[in-house]
Amino acid sequence: MSSLTGMRPGAAGTADVTACRADFPALAQDINGYPLVYLDSAASSQVPMAVIDEIARYQSHDHANVHRGVHTLSHRATEVYENARTALQRFINASRREEIVFTRGTTESINLVAQSFCRPKLRQGDRILITHLEHHSNIVPWQMVCEQTGAELVVAPIDDRGDVSPDSVVALMDERVRLLAVAHVSNALGTVLPVRELAAAAHARDITVLVDGAQAVPHMPVDVQALGADFYAFSGHKMFGPTGTGVLYGREELLDAMPPYQGGGDMILEVRFDGTTYNELPYKFEAGTPNISGAAGLAAAVAYLEAIGMNLIAEHERQLLDYLTNKLAEVEGIRLLGMAPVKASVQSFLLDDIHPHDLGTILDHQGVAIRTGHHCAMPVMDRFGIPGTARASLGLYNNRADVDALTAALEKAREIFG
């Protein structure tokens, strides 16, 4: 079993990342003859040994199906799974563990709300309000439920810096709006949205608030109660946990009133051919055998993050993002996209007229992993009149040497493309 080395405050109170990098075995490899520089954590983060070990431990010793089992392994598996729920509750400060629903990720969490909360409620002429910078996962489920109900999707604008002005969102909150669905942090632009302010304005008008927290949870402390989120969705694989895991947080009162999303085992109390009674929260929304080893791994990821401290991580990344943005700005021919005043962990850019995919490939030849394309945010690309961007995104394990390697690789790309 590896122990957590983790970041420790350095002399200036900043995080010492060097120690933490050693916890991530995937980072210690060469790619195309160069040491890997991983700048794609917004797509999926790497996994620390503590998480890998916990999954192996669970699978080797405790695995069985959860709930209702009378034998020891089933008890153990249930304990692992339910302890994970409690860990997630604490991590985002939900008031009750029943408010944590395990899902496959942000996408499934948002679809659950669209189909189970919105679909039965929405009528012709009702509105769902989103912003222009949303990920497709926070657009398409709403389009689908609008098609099903005759409701309308309304989009608040972003400005040239990729920022969202609260006034422009609030201006669209009329009496027809039933739900506000906004990203906490934009995956394409890095913009941090004023979620607390938007939620307060929405609640004053009886509008329910869903926050897409996929890009926030790995990078900053998240307190769902302080934010005023009615629903908060996030993915395990972006927060150093396993793929196929995620959470929908929902206020108990809302979840309680919602019908189940899927039917099957575990979500029922009693099944008869003349009618079925559903299980209590949160099981009503967890039909079928859940991803138990995934939940074990996700709980280990939470423990890992808590041991380092989310405030420390946020400060480390704030400083590193400043460094990244400034270093990129020095590269000749660069165009930076997403320059909102409050940002987290992401910088999008274009270099000369090199296609982002070609740039990404040249960088990969030098061991530097970035993301290129529309980042599942095509409306953002349309807003800026471009097909896509190159995007460098940070995780707690990145350091200045990674940024220097990126800018050196970009200089080389300029030489190659002449």
Catalytically annotated residues: 376
CA-to-CA distance for 8 and 147, rounded, in angstroms? 51
Min separation Cβ 362 and ligand PLP, Å: 24
Q: Does 183 bind ligand PLP (CB under 6 A)?
A: yes
Close Cβ partners of 79 (under 8 Å, ≥ 6 residues apart): none
Residues ≥6 apart with Cβ < 8 Å to 56 = none
Q: Is 348 in the site for ligand PLP (CB under 6 A)?
A: no
- DSSP assigned state of 94: -
Under rule CB under 6 A, residue 105 binds ligand PLP: yes
Q: Are strands 15-16 and 8-9 parallel, antiparallel or unpaired?
A: antiparallel
Please say whether the beta carbons of 39 and 390 come within 8 A. Answer: no
Specify the length of the chain in residues.
418
| Minimum CB distance to ligand PLP, residue 214 (Å) | 4
Per rule CB under 6 A, is residue 215 in the interface with ligand PLP?
yes
- Rounded Cα gap, residues 291 and 272, in angstroms: 27
Q: Which of 137/399 has CB closer to ligand PLP?
A: 137
Backbone angles phi, psi at 165, to 5 degrees: -85, 130
Identity of the residue, 62 or 230, whose beta carbon is nearer to ligand PLP in the bound complex: 230
User: Which residue's CB is nearer to ligand PLP, number 135 or number 284?
Assistant: 135
Which of residues 107 and 347 has its CB atom nearest to ligand PLP in the complex?
107
Q: Are 219 and 314 in contact (CB under 8 A)?
A: yes
Sign (positive/negative) of CA torsion 55, 212, 111, 96?
Answer: positive
Determine the interface stretch with ligand PLP among 208-216, 249-257, 297-305, 362-370 (rule: CB under 6 A): 208-216
Q: How many positions of this chain bind ligand PLP (CB under 6 A)? A: 13
| 187 near ligand PLP, judged by CB under 6 A | yes
Cα–Cα distance for residue pair 25/91, rounded to 1 Å: 25
Residue from the set 5, 107, 279, 393 that interacts with ligand PLP by CB under 6 A: 107
Closest separation in Å from C-beta 238 to ligand PLP = 6
Shortest spacing between CB 3 and ligand PLP, in angstroms: 29
For residues 128 and 145, the answer to whether their CB atoms sit within 8 Å is yes
CB 282 within 8 A of CB 100: yes
Report the residue number, 45 or 399, with the smaller CB distance to ligand PLP.
Answer: 45
Judged by CB under 6 A, the stretch of 149-157, 209-217, 317-325, 346-354 that binds ligand PLP is: 209-217
For 4, residues 6+ apart whose C-beta sits below 8 A from its C-beta are: 23, 48, 50, 304, 307, 308
Residue 106 or 348: the one with the smaller Cβ distance to ligand PLP is 106
- As measured in angstroms, the least distance from the Cβ of 348 to ligand PLP is 13
Closest CA to 128 of 89, 169, 72: 169
**Amino acid in position 49:** M
212 binds ligand PLP (CB under 6 A): yes
CB of 321 to ligand PLP, least distance (A): 16
Q: Which of 220, 413 has the CB closer to ligand PLP? A: 220
Distance of alpha carbon 179 from alpha carbon 170, whole angstroms = 12
Q: Return the ∠ at Cα 394 (arms to 391 and 395), rounded to 5°.
A: 145
Distance in Å, CB of 259 to ligand PLP, minimum: 22
User: Site residues for ligand PLP, window 48-77 (CB under 6 A)?
Assistant: none
- Segment lying near ligand PLP (by CB under 6 A), choices 101-109, 158-166, 201-209, 390-398: 101-109
**DSSP designation for 266:** T
Q: What string marks each residue from 132 to 171 as x (binds ligand PLP by CB under 6 A) or -? A: ---x-xx---------------------------------
Site membership for ligand PLP, residue 235 (CB under 6 A): yes
Using the minimum distance from each CB to ligand PLP, give the nearer residue, 48 or 218: 218
In the structure encoding, which two tokens stand for residue 103, read together? 């899902």
How near is the Cβ of 134 to ligand PLP at its closest, in Å?
Answer: 7
Mapped onto helix, strand or coil, the DSSP state of residue 191 is: strand
106 near ligand PLP (CB under 6 A) = yes
Residues that bind ligand PLP (CB under 6 A): 105-107, 135, 137-138, 183, 187, 212, 214-215, 235, 376
